[in-house]
Amino acid sequence: MKFGRLARPGEVALADLPEPTAGPGEVTVTLAACGVCGTDLEKLRGNYRTAGILGHEPVGRVAAVGEGVEGIALGDRVFVHHHVPCYACEVCARGDYTFCPTFSKTNLDPGGFAETFRVPRENVERKAILRLDPSVDWDSGSLLEPAGCALTAIRKVGLPEGASVFVLGLGPVGLLYARLARSLGAGWVGGTEVSPLRRAAAERGGIDAAVDPREPEAARKAVDRGTGGRGVDLAVVATGHPAVARAATELVRRGGTVNLFGLPQSGGRLDADLQDLYLRGVRLVPSYATTEPEIADVHRLVVSGSLRIADLVSHRYPIAEIAEAFRRAARPDESVKVVVTGRAH
């Protein structure tokens, strides 16, 4: 079978492997679709310290069920989460599941960009396989994981009814964050984005203000208009540029929150006036990844119709064209969300 892997820094390529088999407690899945995530692109660029396995937003059909697995049947349409916490360590006991030492050590084999992939026993046991409702198409299913990351972040920082939110970086995951905040009751949602295509996707999703950050004072003017000059309750850093993180600290109100959400550049530093943050009571809260309960809750929001996400997929490429899929995904002026499709699509 074919699967996509890092061939060398800056290059993703197809490779051959034998079709995986499902051992005791395991499941194999035939790929339907898997989104190209910003972290996949950062792995390609060498800017991500975790393992170089690609593809963590996969949906597909169950191809085989190992001995002892219950509640999962051949042919089921499923989303599969790549990382799971142990739920037993002291980090998990505090509820910080995505920072569990086990979390990043678990993964799909050989990754989500494979014609068929194996779901290890620990993922199966910890409910990382979610059956898709018949109303949820493959495109929406491939966006459940990044939307789950946004929901994990929102629950971590807290989002009071009617809160004002500003997302700096309306790429695919920033757009999901903005739409989710709106669906959960935010009173005003704005954001910045260089790509006109992605700004249009924000406006299409009901975002109040989507501005070009290259325009002088565009973000400040949008926030002032939306909040009467107070500043936003929540500023979300959905991109890795250090300067954006500093800008976020300047857009929040007194007592407001900055959510460090997008993957920062390796070695990046926050150049901010610490006394100003101290005197204004600004909270900086990082959020990383997601877990099964949030993904299941996002799935319910999609099924209910309160969260619409399928239209964010702008391009689909068969796995044979994975290199072109990555090239397209790296061009924000040409794409919103790119997915790689497999045999089950």
- Reference 91, options 82, 83, 106, 103; nearest CA is 103
Residue 15 β-bridge partners: 3
DSSP per residue, 96-123: -GGG-TTGGG---BS-SSBSEEEE-HHH
Is residue 300 in some structural domain? Answer: no
Q: Average pLDDT in the 167-176 region?
A: 98
Same domain, 123 and 7: yes
Is 291 contained in some domain? no
**For residue range 218-250, what is the model confidence (pLDDT) as tens digits?**
999 999 999 999 999 999 999 988 999 999 999
Confirm if 120 and 109 have CB atoms less than 8 A apart.
yes
pLDDT at residue 50 tops 80? no
Q: What CATH number is attached to the domain comprising 79?
A: 3.90.180.10
Pairing mode, strands 77-80 and 129-131: antiparallel
Name the residue range of residue 136's domain: 2-143+309-341
CA distance 309 to 290: 18
Overall average pLDDT of the 299-317 stretch: 97
Cis peptide upstream of residue 134 (ω within 30 degrees of 0): no
**71, 83, 78, 1: which is closest to 37 by C-alpha?**
83
The CA distance from 34 to 325, in Å, is 11
User: How high is the pLDDT of residue 49?
Assistant: 62
Q: In Å, what is the CA distance from 70 to each residue of 27, 66, 125, 208?
A: 11, 9, 10, 46
The model's confidence at residue 48, banded by pLDDT at 50, 70 and 90, is confident
CA end-to-end distance (rounded Å), the chain: 16
Do residues 166 and 277 share a domain? Answer: yes
Same-domain status, 172 and 280: yes
- Assign residue 10 a region: left if phi > 0, alpha if psi is -120 to 50, beta otherwise? left
Quote the pLDDT of residue 129.
Answer: 98
Question: Can you list the alpha helix ranges (DSSP code H) found in 3-72?
Answer: 38-45
164 and 238 both lie in a single domain: yes
- Residues 259, 335, single domain; the answer is no
In angstroms, rounded to a whole number, what is the distance separating the alpha carbons of residues 108 and 86?
16
If one counts every other C-beta atom within 10 angstroms of the C-beta of residue 304, the result is 11
Query: Do 115 and 31 form a contact (C-beta atoms < 8 A)?
Result: yes
Predicted confidence (pLDDT) at residue 172 exceeds the cutoff of 80: yes
Pick the closest to residue 98 from 56, 60, 130 (CA basis).
56
**What is the per-residue DSSP string for 219-246?**
HHHHHHHHHTTS-EEEEEE-S--HHHHH
How much is the pTM?
Answer: 0.97
Q: Is residue 301 part of a domain?
A: no
Q: Are residues 270 and 313 in the same domain?
A: no
Strand partners for 129 = 80
Shared domain check, 134 and 83: yes
Residue 252 lies in a domain: yes
111 and 16 both lie in a single domain: yes
pLDDT digits (tens, 9 = 90+) for 180-219: 999 999 999 999 999 999 999 999 999 999 999 999 999 9
Structural tokens at position 180: 């989710």
296 domain residue, yes or no: no
Q: Cα–Cα distance between 220 and 9 in angstroms, integer?
A: 38
Q: Based on the structure, what is the number of domains in the chain?
A: 2
- Which of 143, 187, 137 is closest to 163 using CA atoms? 187
Q: Are residues 280 and 165 in the same domain?
A: yes
Instruction: Tell me: do 174 and 233 sit in the same domain.
Output: yes
In the chain, pLDDT over 90 holds for what percent of residues?
93
Q: Which two structure tokens, joined as six digits, stand for 304? A: 């209910």
Q: Is residue 125 part of a domain?
A: yes
Is 298 domain-assigned? no
302: in domain? no
pLDDT in tens, 3-22: 999 988 889 999 999 999 99
> Which CATH number belongs to the domain containing residue 181 in this structure?
3.40.50.720
Q: Are residues 34 and 71 in the same domain?
A: yes
Same domain, 23 and 102: yes
306: Cα separation from own chain's centroid: 19
The dihedral region occupied by 267, where left means phi > 0, alpha psi between -120 and 50, and beta the remainder, is left
